Amino acid sequence: MMGANNSLASRLKEKCPNLFLIKCICHSFHLCASYACQKLPNDVEQLARDVYNFFSNSQKRIDQYKEFQEFANVLPHKILHPSQTKWLSLELVIKILISQYNALTLYFTEQAYEGVLQADNILEKLKKTRDKTIP
């Protein structure tokens, strides 16, 4: 819409040469932040989505996880979903996952031991993420 050639802005300028156009700073900021987030590794975002999806449709799993939060002595937090506009929510989602790391690891270890395949995959991702971030 705001391009120099064959856009709404260029066509309006043809009709009204004295027209002054102001681009939306909010839209520009969104584009910059979105582009910057594309440079982040996808592993962490995928881990956040997997953890959220594991709990999202099961009140039983949520209740079981609350026991692990108490045992690990971490503040109870709801597992959040990274939004489609990931730069808006990703920081908070990752901070919560980090604060819940011990409880999550304990919980998914038990679930993997019980034979839940999805839990085994998430546990593996949790361990890989830890190994990448802790020297």
Alpha carbon distance 111, 108 (integer Å): 5
Give Cα separations from 63 to 29, 32, 59, 70 (angstroms). Answer: 40, 40, 6, 11
The reported pLDDT for the residue numbered 85 is 63
Alpha carbon distance 13, 93 (integer Å): 44
Q: In the 3-class helix/strand/coil scheme, how is 84-97 assigned residue by residue?
A: CCHHHHHHHHHHHH
Give Cα separations from 57 to 62, 86, 95, 98, 104 (angstroms). Answer: 9, 21, 22, 22, 17
Q: What is the pLDDT along the chain (135 residues), one digit of tens a residue?
A: 666 677 887 888 888 888 777 777 887 787 787 787 777 777 888 888 899 999 998 999 999 999 999 999 988 888 887 776 666 677 788 888 889 999 999 999 999 999 989 999 999 999 887 766 554
The reported pLDDT for the residue numbered 135 is 47
pTM of the predicted structure, to 2 decimals:
0.68
